[in-house]
Structure 1
Amino acid sequence: MELGNFFKLLWKRRLLLIVIPVITVVAAFFAIRSLPDKFISSSQIATGIVDQSRQLLDTDPNASSKEQSIAHEFSNLVEIMKLKTLINQVSYQLILHDLTSSEQFKTESKLFKSMNPAARSHAIEVFKEKFEKREPLSFYNRDENGLNELLRSMKYDERELRKNLYINRDEDSDFITVSYESENPQLSAFVVNVLCTQFIDYYTNTVRKNENDAVTYLLKQLNEKRDTLNKKTTELQDYKIKNGILNLDEQSKSIYDQIMVFNDRKQQAEKDVASNNGAIRQLNAKFTPEERGYIEATVNKYNQAVTNTQEQLHILNDRYVRSGFDPKLKGALDSLQAKLTEQINQTSDKYISNPLTSKDELVRQKITLEINRDMAQSSIRAISRSLDELNAKFNRLVPFDATVKTYNYDIDIASKEYLDVLNKYNQTNLQSTFSIKLRQVEQAVPDAAEPSKKILLIAVAGIVAFVICVIVLFISWFFDDTIKHPADLVKRTHLPLLGHLNTVDGTLDLRKLWDVENRERMRLFKELTRSLRFEIDQELKGDKILAVTSLINHEGKSVAGISLAYSYAMINKKVLLIDGNFENPTLTEVIQPRVFVEEYFKNNPDNYNSIAATTNVMGTHGGDVTLLELSDENFIRTRFNELKMKYDVIIIETPPLSSLNKSKEWILFANKVVAIYEANKGIAKWQQNDVEYLRNLNGKFAGWVLNKTNPEIENF
């Protein structure tokens, strides 16, 4: 519904929506028709970035990464072309062309025309120097700042050139398109060609210099890392030669293995000693003390040969241990062991007889066990000495190992650094070989004028004007809180509505409101008044006193009151119209009655006469007075009762509710209250209390009457 109101507003303002766009179109036509034609020249630069042969340099197999890298490269190229340095080069060439040629690209400016030959020669010299050195003009140098002013006067400065310069990549291709738009086709082509040439030259020199610097730097780093690696390797070799180290890992492993073998042999020998001692103790337990004494005496007497052989066996066993258990000595050791066994057997057979003939075997076993025990003990001593020597050798290798590991660690680091620099050097060297080769594949040439957009611009101007009008109307409608429709008044106040009265065009004479001469003009007004009269009758339901009030002055209470009075008179009702608006007695001024409120409601002994039957209007003298100041409530109510006896309807125009109690005192005696509200006004915050007062009247408030409406325009 609210959006429908907006469309109603558009229809109401349809003339505005037509006139303003038409005026805009006409103004645009006269403004645009004198615009010069535009000429665009374009050129393309091949970059080689998307060349498949360059993909060999890509180390990232991810396709998205490649696309992103390519996009970055194109973005960098475009931004380089927009550098102030390159735009300045174009500016210098343009001004040099105009200074040295008889046909300028643009009309000469006042400053250009004012230059004498000497000034021109000086300007040419400075611009050429700046062009060759790719230097900007200084704003702090008075002479160069003057040349800057010359560029600006001819609109050859950087800011003006950028406005019509377009640089972009052609979708996903390998080309960059450079375009320039101007009023001169020769100028457009000249700007594009100079910019492309300067860009290719600048980029090529910059890239080549950067690549050469990078290769030179990496080569220097490579030599330094190689020298460091060679130095560390030489130091390690010298240290090994000085300390007699061939292969430290193998040497330490060999010694460690020998230590493990000797430990095993030592443990075995210790076990043999323990087992032999145990066996000897068991054999001794089988002899009596006398037998043990005899055996020891006899054995000691005849054991010299065994002892000699045993000493030889100890010496050979010691050599065997020291040799690291050399298999060559093993045979001699076994042979000597067999000889010792034979000597023991001979000793037992020859010397040991009575009284121990039955225990010869035990004697031989004991002697054998003692010899084996002695051999094992001798082996333990020899093995211990060898272990001490091996441990000493192993301990001497520990500091060598730490030093060698330090050297090896330094060599590893130096080797990694060398390889990293070598890879970077090779990659940079390869990239410099396959670096981007820019070339201008298509020269810019003067082209025909661009299709005219004047008609399109005129149409756009009209459309924009129309849209702006719609937007302005929408904003005004959206923020408009005035009440235009009867339904709006009900929605805003939550109070009932009795009807509305339309606006009457022209001057309105209240005394001739219902005369025949105003019949056509007042036709709708009369119909609305009759409808209002009917609604009020339904509310009064036999009651007679109707108060007509409003929120503020000048909302049409007087017109509504007179119209209702005439309307009731037309149906043969005896009507009394009371002007209770002391501050603004419009009814009294228009009708000029003979009976006044101040006299009729004044409580004094001389004021008990009844009102004449022919009286239809009761006026007021006005002034700063209220109804209850004339008399007390009971007397006033008595007077109203008298009026009820004589009249069918009593209509009271009260002061507005903004006058506080002046209106409320009249409403105190009314049976029903009607409030007049003028359309196209809003309800202010300070009026909310008055609306709340009407709401609190409950059934006494009959409803609103929306005055000064325009049903034909507002469509209700």
Structure 2
Amino acid sequence: MEDHLSNGNSQMFDFKAFVYRAISYWKWFVLLLIVGLYVVYQQNIRREFPYTLEASLTVQDDKNPLFTSNTSLVFNYGGISGKVQEVLLNLKSRKHHEKVVDSLNLYLTYSTQGRFYKTDIYGSQPFKFVGLDSAYQVIGQPIKINFSDANTFTLSYDFGEATKVTAQNYLDKSIKTIALKTPTFSKSYTLNEYIDLPFFKGSIVKIKAKAKAIAINTDYFIQYNNFNSTVSSFVNNYAVTNQQGSPLLVTRLTNKNKAKIVDYINTSVFILERDQLQRKNQYAINTVAFIDKQLARVKGQLNRKADSLNDFMRSNKIFDLENESTLLSAKIEGYNDQKEILNQSLLSYDLLKNYLLTSQDFTSFPAPALQGIDDPNISASISKIISLSIQKSTLESSVRDNVSVFGDLNNQIESLKNVMLENIASVKTNIGYQIQSINSKIYSSESQYSTLPESQQKLEAIEREYLLSQSTYNLYLAKRGEADLIKASNISDIILIEPAKDIGQGRNKVNLSIRYVFAVLAALIPIIILAFIITFFDNKIHVPSDLEKLANIPLLGVVGKNDTDNNLAVFNKPKSAVAEAFRAVRSSLQFIYKKHELEGTKTVMVTSSISGEGKTFCSINIASVFALSGKKTVLVGLDLRKPKIFGDFDIDNSIGAVNYLIGQKNLSEVVQKTKVEHLDVITSGPIPPNPSELLIGEQMDRFIEELKANYDYIVLDTPPLGLVADAFELIEYADASLYVVRQDYTKKEMLGLINDKHNKGEVKNISFLYNFYDQKGKYGYGYGYGYGYGAYGNGYHENEVEKLTVLNKIKGLFKK
């Protein structure tokens, strides 16, 4: 159960280690912060802030006084609120902005090179480029212009390593790629001279009002930009606001050039006014066109009737009617008046029918087409068509053309139009019956002329036909006059109250200080993420306290970093902190021996998980502290596969424990003296083919017995327990075993094997020895065990590190 908890704890995220690891990266945080702050500072001083200007306009319900009551704009548009929304949608539509950009040629920019960026000089440039309309102009590439005098300039460009460029035709907005003969070019031209390059065609002309403003030897830049991208940039920075229920609209534009903002906003409103007025006038234009066709037909009939009347009167010498026909003529004239009224109704229905058959937009009906229309079914249908047309017009400004809703609306409008056409046909038929009835009455009255002379009867008939044609002609002339008058009297419903104007407004204020906060976060977040990732996936032991979570084996001591040239730390610097740490280990071992009431020679075995954890270093110095205390000590190298200890003592490894174990040499022949008093060393000797078998034989028992007979302390330097099983075979010879763990090197899972053996009771009297402890390391943990007192140890230990200069300290920070 304890083992399970220990293993579980080893998998938990160590938040404390994460915090200390993140803190230990402070120098990288400082470096990133300095870089980030410098980058932000450079960006801030290079930032060109834009301007924002606005204009105010109002949408009015300007009714034409010549419109009849049933054709008022309120009825046609759905009231002032509907008209405001339509104007608002038009101002926001991309189609509208395309017209503005095209009108002002805003896809062509003029600039000069400033300290950090190119400055847009729209509105103040001393010249302009008049491009060939049908030509393809290079886009996205600046063309440099440098005037050597008032009329001569050098045109040049440098496209780097490009082999082709993209060009656009601004008439049809098509784009194509043009191959380059050379990526660089320079040539002198004069003003008004035609420039004929494959992708740049036109001429540079002087703006007369600013002719003196041309700066000599100053670089100007001309650049064409992609039309759609230019429109998008203005659409994204253009805003229209409207308070609910108010006819007031406020348009705003943000740009880096105030003159461009002023022209853009005012031109936008001008184009809106023009389009709206043109739309209103279109109704009258359509009516005039229809009436002109009818006038031409009626005029021909009238001319023929007049000719017939004149011919008859000349041939019969008749110039007046008899008095007795006066009353009869008045009666017939009354019938003709009734017939005239019906003919006018027929004309109105014909106008309405023609409008339905020829028009595409039914958001409003022309006044002439609605006079004399009194059928309630037709009036109701007109109202429905207008409502559907307004709905369609509103959707066209914000919805794609191919959605199904347009098909549904078109079908409804078409159905209503067909119903109206049927109603018109029915009404016209009814009027036709009425005209037939009146004609019958006229015929009856005319039959009474039989008592009159035949010539007088014929004259009366011709004269009536002439008067009828003249009346019809006069009616069409009146209708045409009304339509022309309506067109001439129309005014726009949009009124620009306050145009955009440059009155010295400053640039938009932006709080750039917040960018420094982001710079701090940008430096901090990667450090935190890196520390989290490393901590999360880190499976190494970094502090002595980790051992308490990973195993039930006690910690015997903590040994610091070895700063000497070899492993003889105790011998070379007996007053160092490392030497004191090994003395503390010696004391702890003696306590273990005393606790188990061991007498005579004491044996200690030193092992570890893998190679490189400092097992040999610990073995040498543990043996050294025992020897320096006056006890006869022998250090035995039993790591037969990878012998090491001979190098630190400058002794030969040709003869050692292997020679004794195979019976070649006796004990006195394998023992070698060292420069450490009371310390002998038995190296491992030549590498044998069967090291495990040598360590478990009877010869090994005799070897240990002989050593116990000659020495007070025996230190066994054994192979890594995690790699080979040799160390397990030697545990039975040891009174105490030390398992070396190295800081920032030993992995947590490596302790699983020895912990399992200890929990099962297969290994006893074993303790951890924490090696290579660095109290100034990444985690900042303090620990006892006779090591790591820092400044409190001054005067008790040797001064191990020479005083560093400030420069060396700074360099040392980044070497860790």
Q: Map 1:209-248; keep pairs closer than 5 Å.
A: 209=361, 211-212=363-364, 214-215=385-386, 217=413, 220-224=417-421, 226=423
Q: Work out whether residues 640 and 719 of structure 2, in 8 Å CA contact, stay in contact via their aligned partners in 1.
A: yes
User: 1:16: which partner in 2?
Assistant: 28
Alignment match of 2:499 (pick from 443, 458, 465): 443
Query: Aligned pair 1:715/2:736, yes or no?
Result: no
**How far apart are the structure 1 equivalents of 2:645 and 2:74?**
100
User: 2:566: which partner in 1?
Assistant: 509
Change in 2 beyond 3 A, CA 1:587/1:74: farther
TM-score normalized by the length of structure 1: 0.54
Helix, strand or coil at the partner of 1:89:
helix
User: 1:103: which partner in 2?
Assistant: 124
Alignment match of 1:81 (pick from 86, 92, 96): 92
Query: Aligned pair 1:137/2:193, yes or no?
Result: no
User: 2:743: which partner in 1?
Assistant: 679
User: 1:579: which partner in 2?
Assistant: 637
Helix, strand or coil at the partner of 1:708:
strand
Alignment match of 2:232 (pick from 162, 184, 189): 162
User: 2:718: which partner in 1?
Assistant: 654
**How far apart are the structure 1 equivalents of 2:623 and 2:629?**
10
User: 1:555: which partner in 2?
Assistant: 613
**How far apart are the structure 2 equivalents of 1:524 and 1:6?**
31
User: 1:35: which partner in 2?
Assistant: 47
User: 2:797: which partner in 1?
Assistant: none
User: 1:183: which partner in 2?
Assistant: 256
Q: Considering fraction of residues, name the structure with more strand.
A: 2
Alignment match of 2:538 (pick from 462, 472, 480): 480
Q: Work out whether residues 558 and 769 of structure 2, in 8 Å CA contact, stay in contact via their aligned partners in 1.
A: yes
Q: Work out whether residues 76 and 364 of structure 2, in 8 Å CA contact, stay in contact via their aligned partners in 1.
A: no
Helix, strand or coil at the partner of 1:578:
strand
User: 2:265: which partner in 1?
Assistant: 192
Query: Aligned pair 1:597/2:653, yes or no?
Result: no
Cα distance, 1:90 vs structure 2: 1.6
**How far apart are the structure 2 equivalents of 1:482 and 1:631?**
31
Cα distance, 1:224 vs structure 2: 4.3
Residue by residue over 1:296-336, the C-alpha shift from the partner in whole angstroms, topping out at 9 and shown as x without a partner, is xxxxxxxxxxxxxxxxxxxxxxxxxxxxxxxxxxxxxxxxx
Helix, strand or coil at the partner of 1:510:
coil
Q: 652-661 vs 624-633, which deviates more?
A: 624-633
Change in 2 beyond 3 A, CA 1:448/1:673: same
Size of the alignment, in residue pairs?
Answer: 484
Cα distance, 1:211 vs structure 2: 1.9
Q: Map 1:362-441; keep pairs closer than 5 Å.
A: 441=497
Helix, strand or coil at the partner of 2:662:
coil
CA RMSD of aligned residues (A): 5.4
**Rg comparison, structure with higher value:** 1
Q: Map 1:225-624; keep pairs closer than 5 Å.
A: 226=423, 441-446=497-502, 447-451=505-509, 453-458=511-516, 460-492=518-550, 495-504=553-562, 506-515=563-572, 517=573, 519-520=575-576, 522=578, 525-526=581-582, 529=585, 533=589, 537=593, 542=598, 544-592=602-650, 596-603=656-663, 607=666, 616-624=680-688
User: 1:702: which partner in 2?
Assistant: 766
Change in 2 beyond 3 A, CA 1:228/1:88: closer
**How far apart are the structure 2 equivalents of 1:626 and 1:654?**
15
**How far apart are the structure 2 equivalents of 1:171 and 1:662?**
89
Letter in 2 for 1:103: S
Residue by residue over 1:520-564, the C-alpha shift from the partner in whole angstroms, topping out at 9 and shown as x without a partner, is 464664566457646765786638332211222111011111222
**How far apart are the structure 2 equivalents of 1:182 and 1:39?**
5
Q: Considering fraction of residues, name the structure with more helix.
A: 1
**How far apart are the structure 2 equivalents of 1:662 and 1:106?**
93
**How far apart are the structure 2 equivalents of 1:477 and 1:676?**
23
Residue by residue over 1:645-698, the C-alpha shift from the partner in whole angstroms, topping out at 9 and shown as x without a partner, is 444432211112354234333335434432212221363878866765666564
Change in 2 beyond 3 A, CA 1:629/1:89: same
**How far apart are the structure 1 equivalents of 2:583 and 2:263?**
81
**How far apart are the structure 2 equivalents of 1:171 and 1:533?**
89
Residue by residue over 1:587-636, the C-alpha shift from the partner in whole angstroms, topping out at 9 and shown as x without a partner, is 122225687212333347x7487998966322121424454443753332
> Mind listing any 5+ residue stretches in structure 1 that lack a counterpart?
60-68, 118-129, 234-435
Change in 2 beyond 3 A, CA 1:710/1:685: closer
User: 1:277: which partner in 2?
Assistant: none
Cα distance, 1:102 vs structure 2: 7.7
**How far apart are the structure 2 equivalents of 1:155 and 1:483?**
61
Q: Work out whether residues 105 and 187 of structure 1, in 8 Å CA contact, stay in contact via their aligned partners in 2.
A: no
Cα distance, 1:6 vs structure 2: 2.8
Q: Work out whether residues 638 and 657 of structure 2, in 8 Å CA contact, stay in contact via their aligned partners in 1.
A: yes
TM-score normalized by the length of structure 2: 0.48
**How far apart are the structure 2 equivalents of 1:101 and 1:15?**
48
Q: Work out whether residues 559 and 771 of structure 2, in 8 Å CA contact, stay in contact via their aligned partners in 1.
A: yes
Helix, strand or coil at the partner of 2:771:
strand
**How far apart are the structure 2 equivalents of 1:715 and 1:686?**
22
Q: Work out whether residues 658 and 688 of structure 2, in 8 Å CA contact, stay in contact via their aligned partners in 1.
A: no
